[in-house]
Chain A
Amino acid sequence: MVCPGGMDAARDNSTEDEPLLARSVHDADAFALFYAAYVERVSVYFLRRVFDPETAVDLTAETFARALERRRQFRGATAAKEQGWLFKIAERLLADYWRRGQVERAALHRARLERPPLGTEDIDYLIQRAGLDASRQDLSAALAQLEPRYARAVQARIIDGREYADIARDFSASHEAVRQHVSRGLHMLQRILGSGFRDELHDE
């Protein structure tokens, strides 16, 4: 796996060889360093799959909350193991999102954490890092291969950027049904776009 510059820079602050996650069991600052090392990669990983910065950051926040909660179970001795361990959590959360159409927030709740709202600067940063503008072109082309009901939901939410409530009214469907259509449509698109859409940040 590729180590981005952010992680190397964060590790320059480390005075020990022990993975940051292992150190964070007794050192809160080590967890902040761990977060700083991986947050960009994790949020980009999600954004390239869900195309929605708000959803991607929700998933990212829950990923780190689970990592915080379960870090005592981490037994790896290297940064690569640490990264693999973190992305296993991310993968499970994404699979859960595809299935339910909602982002799980249980670990955030247990840790009494709320993620901050995103501003323009945050959204621009994430879209730029994920290369989302280019991806959107692929996305539009792939939409034609989806069942119309999923294509319409993804078009309305992801391409046109409309609110769920607005789409639900338009579709005469419940809020939850629209969310599920969007998440399932995105999952199907992920399959259609296939390996060419995989990102070197995570996928080997």
Chain B
Amino acid sequence: MSDDLPPALREMRERFREAARRDIEIERRVHERVRNTRRKLWLTGAAVIAVAAAGAATASRVFDREGPVLPSDTLPATVASAADPGVITSTAVADPGGGPPWALRVFTNPTGLDCIAVGRFANGHLGTYSQHVFRPLPSKVSGACGSLAHEGLIAALQTYNNDAPRTVVYGLARDGHIVEIDVGGRTIQVHPKGLGGFIAVREGNLPGGTPVSVRTATPDGRTIRRTLLPVP
């Protein structure tokens, strides 16, 4: 019986009880943020669609740095919303070569982990873009998953080898602090947007086996790091 436990094991029980309380509170806050952000999506979706349609392609070409963040979410509720409610439109960044911007979709997998997928965003949907043709992704798409509440940083790397090769680093930073990405000998700084989502797009592909480092800070000053490798 637990009351028979010696002092150190009893003390450890109380520390775990407190840690569980902290964990439950963090999870509650994350879910609250998800709900609030989804509400805002009704206001924000059309902003990205409008900018994409008007030609994010006109944005200046960027190389080795993140694309410019699109206008923020200030459109009235009367305009059309994003058709895919999982897409965080405020994360959208232009592609160096133009075309639809890149955006994140956030969802929860059956085991309760937070997952992210990245793609081009057009007509309210996340998709692929090649040869000037946009193709929507299926509603159930795989993604990089983790426990944001525990890990503080979920990051992933995706490379594209089509007519416009790209290296895309994306993720979620729980605490919303600046994310620094070391990629191809350069350091890119990105400011997380809704839900802590961030995307950095680099023109071209990294040589095989070149690691990408992603790091951010916690409120108590610790650094969380992830090292990513491109899939050959």
Interface residues of A (CB under 8 A from B): 5-6, 9-10, 24-29, 31-33, 35-37, 39-40, 43, 57, 61, 64-65, 68-69, 72-73, 75, 110-119, 121-122, 124-126
Question: Could you give 29 example pairs across A and B, Cβ below 8 Å?
Answer: A6-B1, A6-B2, A10-B1, A28-B18, A28-B20, A28-B21, A31-B20, A35-B12, A35-B16, A36-B13, A37-B2, A39-B13, A40-B5, A40-B9, A61-B12, A68-B16, A68-B19, A68-B20, A69-B150, A72-B111, A72-B113, A73-B111, A111-B22, A112-B22, A116-B12, A116-B15, A122-B7, A125-B9, A126-B6
Residues in B with CB closer than 8 Å to A29 are 17
Instruction: Tell me whether B24 and A26 are in contact (CB under 8 A).
Output: yes
Residues in A with CB closer than 8 Å to B18 are 28
Instruction: Tell me whether A57 and B8 are in contact (CB under 8 A).
Output: yes
Instruction: Tell me whether B150 and A110 are in contact (CB under 8 A).
Output: yes
Residues in B with CB closer than 8 Å to A61 are 12
Instruction: Tell me whether A113 and B16 are in contact (CB under 8 A).
Output: yes
Instruction: Tell me whether A5 and B12 are in contact (CB under 8 A).
Output: no
A28-B7 contact given A68-B23, A116-B12, CB 8 Å threshold: no
B interface majority secondary structure: helix
Question: What 9 pairs between A and B have smallest CB-CB spacing?
Answer: A36-B2, A28-B20, A31-B20, A32-B17, A28-B21, A122-B6, A125-B6, A72-B112, A122-B8
Tell yes or no: B14 within 8 A of A by CB: yes
Interface bracket on B:
20 to 34
Instruction: Tell me whether B6 and A32 are in contact (CB under 8 A).
Output: no
Give the distance to chain B from A62, nearest Cβ to Cβ, in Å: 11
Which residues of B93-145 are within 8 A (CB) of A?
111-113
Residues in A with CB closer than 8 Å to B32 are none
Instruction: Tell me whether A39 and B112 are in contact (CB under 8 A).
Output: no
A122-B21 contact given A6-B4, A31-B16, A69-B150, CB 8 Å threshold: no
Give the distance to chain B from A89, nearest Cβ to Cβ, in Å: 14
Cα of A115 to Cα of B11 in the assembled complex, Å: 8
Cα of A119 to Cα of B17 in the assembled complex, Å: 21
Instruction: Tell me whether B8 and A115 are in contact (CB under 8 A).
Output: yes
Instruction: Tell me whether B13 and A35 are in contact (CB under 8 A).
Output: yes
Residues in A with CB closer than 8 Å to B111 are 72-73, 75
| Candidate in A24, A36, A119 with the most chain B CB atoms within 10 angstroms | A36
The residue from B4, B9, B13, B23 contacting A122, defined by CB atoms under 8 A apart: B9
Give the distance to chain B from A12, nearest Cβ to Cβ, in Å: 9
Instruction: Tell me whether A24 and B9 are in contact (CB under 8 A).
Output: no
Tell yes or no: B147 within 8 A of A by CB: yes
Tell yes or no: B182 within 8 A of A by CB: no
B220: nearest residue on chain A (CB-CB)?
A112
Q: Mark B150-163, 1 if CB is under 8 A from A, else 0.
A: 11000000000000
Residues in A with CB closer than 8 Å to B2 are 6, 9-10, 33, 35-37, 39
Instruction: Tell me whether B6 and A112 are in contact (CB under 8 A).
Output: no
Instruction: Tell me whether B150 and A115 are in contact (CB under 8 A).
Output: no
Cα of A121 to Cα of B5 in the assembled complex, Å: 10
Residues in A with CB closer than 8 Å to B22 are 111-112
Cα of A1 to Cα of B18 in the assembled complex, Å: 30
New A-B pairs, 13, CB < 8 Å, besides A25-B24, A68-B19: A28-B18, A28-B24, A31-B16, A35-B12, A39-B5, A40-B9, A65-B16, A68-B23, A111-B19, A111-B23, A118-B8, A122-B6, A122-B7
Instruction: Tell me whether A69 and B8 are in contact (CB under 8 A).
Output: no
Residues in A with CB closer than 8 Å to B1 are 5-6, 9-10, 36
Instruction: Tell me whether B14 and A112 are in contact (CB under 8 A).
Output: no
Instruction: Tell me whether B12 and A112 are in contact (CB under 8 A).
Output: no
Instruction: Tell me whether A113 and B24 are in contact (CB under 8 A).
Output: no
